[in-house]
Structure 1
Amino acid sequence: MYNTNMLKNKFLSLILFSIVTFSASFIGGLVSISLKEPWYSGLIKSNYNPPDWIFAPVWTTLYIMMTLAIWFFWHSKKRDVNTIYIYFIHIVFNATWSIIFFGLHQIFFALVILVILITMIIILIIRFKRVNFVSYCLMIPYLLWCLYALFLNYNLMVLN
């Protein structure tokens, strides 16, 4: 049976992990809104580029899934703090991509950041799988989307 403190702590940890995770979305959104145009519209894009309206709902869903993944991991009996640190560092790289790509208009360096981010996601997935299967599963769509983003980023680099 849950006591009030346990529920309060679970709720507080969910709020804190949400704030940390969605901070990347917030930073990326600010940079994108203020520095994306007219540069991005002028890029030659491949036929594989989805319409712009797809990105917000996909990323929102992924940020929710990432938040839940780290939250379930945090409340697992065999959790380790190093995985939490890796998660926080990975959030920094997540936000950094938007700054490098949309803010500084550096397609190649954004590609490098994305490779680092994908590597960290794979490390998190492996570490999550050992401790919490739900956390592991919640990260798979994020990995797949970032691999797709890598493909799009690469195409933009080649075409421009």
Structure 2
Amino acid sequence: MRTAQRTYTRIILAITICLLIGFLGAMATASSVSSWYTTLNKPFFTPPNWLFGPVWTLLYVMMGWAAGLIWSRGFHHLWVKSALYAFGIQLLLNGSWSIVFFGLRSPVWALVIIVLLAIMIIVTIRQFRVVNKTAAWLLAPYLAWVAFASALNLAIVLLN
């Protein structure tokens, strides 16, 4: 397989994996978003519910694109392996947050997870930067959104 074709294939596979994690998180969210979540006191800066789906979809595509760029460098290199392991850990934390916040209805434990998630995104960005600067920049909006979501999660904990 040619290098460009291999790169595109890996980007598409990585995007698919990220969207799958997002879909699983959305399934956990759907169980509570129109019932339990509506009963929570939320801060003034809470976005409308309809905004979360499009934002997360775009972020998952960008995350997958970034991971695909890293993966296309070959999994044999130590920096690529380290970067993809960090990416995998943050992706698992990402999916866990929805399950804990919405599925288990536990904003406090979700706050712990989202703080760990933010830390792992920073680690992932640092590791991606060593392999591919574009891939690192593709994760910047994700970090910004998770920082915002962390503030929202904290406010919900404090208000409830």
TM-score by length of 1: 0.91
**Unaligned segments of structure 2, at least 5 residues:** none
**Unaligned segments of structure 1, at least 5 residues:** none
Are residues 1:71 and 2:73 paired? no
Are residues 1:9 and 2:9 paired? no
Task: Give % identity.
Answer: 36
Are residues 1:141 and 2:141 paired? yes
Q: CA deviation at 1:48?
A: 0.8
Are residues 1:37 and 2:42 paired? no
2:55 partner SS: helix
Superposed, 1:76-87 pairs within 5 Å as 76=73, 79-87=79-87
1-structure distance, mates of 2:155, 2:143: 18
2-structure distance, mates of 1:35, 1:46: 18
Letter of the 2:104 partner, please give it: L
Give the structure 2 partner of residue 131 of structure 1.
131
C-alpha distance after superposition, 1:70-104 (max 9, x if no partner): 11122237652121122112111100000000000
Misfit runs of 4+, over 3 Å: 4-8, 76-79
Contact 1:20 1:88 in 2 (8 A): no
TM-score by length of 2: 0.91
Bigger Cα displacement from structure 2, 134-143 vs 85-94: 85-94
Letter of the 2:146 partner, please give it: C
Q: CA deviation at 1:16?
A: 1.9
Contact 2:125 2:139 in 1 (8 A): yes
* Aligned alpha-carbon RMSD (Å): 1.6
